[in-house]
C-alpha cells in the first residue's frame, strides 16, 4: 500500500533521512477495510492509531440510550481512532467504522513508542498533529455553542463538500448534534429558498 502521501505529510514538518523513513514504514500495518466494517469497538483496548490512505472512516460514541454521536469523519490523509484508549491502553469508548471501502495504515502502540523512542523528531510531527486537531475541536465546540443547527449544517457543507456526497444524512445529523428528522426539515427549508 502507498505510504508516500503519509511520508510527504510528515516531511512538511520534519526532515527525515532514509533510515528514519524506512523504520517508520516498517512499523505500519497496511490493511484494507470493507464498507461497514468495524476497525475498533467500545470495550476493547485500542491497539492502533489509524491513518486513512483512501476511503473514509468515522468514529462515534454510542450513549447509554443507544444514540450514536459522530466525533469525526476521517478522509484520506487523516488520523483517527480512540485516542485515550490508544495512548493509555484503557478500554475504548468510541467505535470506528468504514463508511466506504478504505485502505488504512495501522500504527501499533508499541510501534509508535519505538518510533518516538528512537527518533525524537517524530515527536514534533505528532505535537503539531494534536495541536491542529485540538484547534479543530475547539472551533467545533464553539460553533456548537454559538450557532443554530442550520448555520452548522451550512458551515459543514462548506468545510467538507465532498462528504455530503456519500455520507448518509443520519451521520451528518449526528455530527451536527441534531436528529435526522430535523436535518431533513432544514434541508427542505433551504431547498425552497
C-alpha cell belonging to residue 134 = 485540538
- Stretch of 20-28, 37-45, 86-94, 144-152 lying at the interface with DNA (CB under 7 A): 144-152
Residue 152 Cβ vs DNA, minimum distance, rounded to whole Å? 8
CA distance 77 to 5: 7
- 131 binds a copy of itself, rule: CB under 8 A: yes
Adjacent-strand bridge partners of 72: 59
Q: Which of 67, 77, 162, 169 binds a copy of itself (CB under 8 A)?
A: 67
Pairing of strands 79-80, 94-98: unpaired
* DSSP-derived 3-state class of residue 107: strand
Q: Which of 150, 154, 155, 160 binds DNA (CB under 7 A)?
A: 150
CA distance 91 to 74: 21
Q: Which does 29 bind (CB under 5 to 8 A by kind): a copy of itself, DNA, none?
A: none
Name which of 51, 71, 61, 60 is nearest 144 in CA terms.
71
Q: Which does 66 bind (CB under 5 to 8 A by kind): a copy of itself, DNA, none?
A: none
Interface ranges with a copy of itself (CB under 8 A): 61, 63, 67, 69, 71, 83-84, 87, 116, 120-121, 123-124, 126-127, 130-131, 133-135, 137-138, 140-142, 144-146, 177
Amino acid at each position: 500500500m502507498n505510504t508516500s502521501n503519509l511520508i510527504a505529510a510528515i516531511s512538511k514538518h520534519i526532515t527525515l533521512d532514509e533510515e528514519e523513513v524506512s523504520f517508520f514504514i516498517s512499523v505500519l500495518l497496511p490493511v484494507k477495510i470493507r464498507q461497514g466494517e468495524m476497525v475498533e469497538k467500545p470495550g476493547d483496548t485500542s491497539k492502533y492509531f489509524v491513518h486513512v490512505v483512501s476511503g473514509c472512516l468515522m468514529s462515534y460514541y454510542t450513549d447509554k440510550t443507544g444514540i450514536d454521536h459522530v466525533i469525526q469523519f476521517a478522509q484520506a490523509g487523516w488520523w483517527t481512532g480512540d485516542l485515550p484508549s490508544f495512548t493509555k491502553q484503557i478500554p475504548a469508548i468510541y467505535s470506528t467504522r468504514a463508511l466506504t471501502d478504505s485502505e488504512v495504515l495501522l500504527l501499533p502502540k508499541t510501534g509508535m513508542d519505538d518510533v518516538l523512542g528512537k527518533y525524537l523528531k517524530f515527536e514534533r510531527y505528532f505535537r503539531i498533529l494534536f495541536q491542529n486537531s485540538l484547534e479543530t475541536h475547539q472551533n467545533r465546540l464553539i460553533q456548537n455553542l454559538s450557532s443554530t443547527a442550520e448555520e452548522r449544517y451550512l458551515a459543514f457543507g462548506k468545510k467538507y463538500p465532498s462528504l455530503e456526497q456519500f455520507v448518509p444524512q443520519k451521520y451528518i445529523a449526528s455530527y451536527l448534534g441534531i436528529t435526522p428528522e430535523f436535518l431533513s426539515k432544514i434541508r427542505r427549508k433551504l431547498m425552497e429558498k
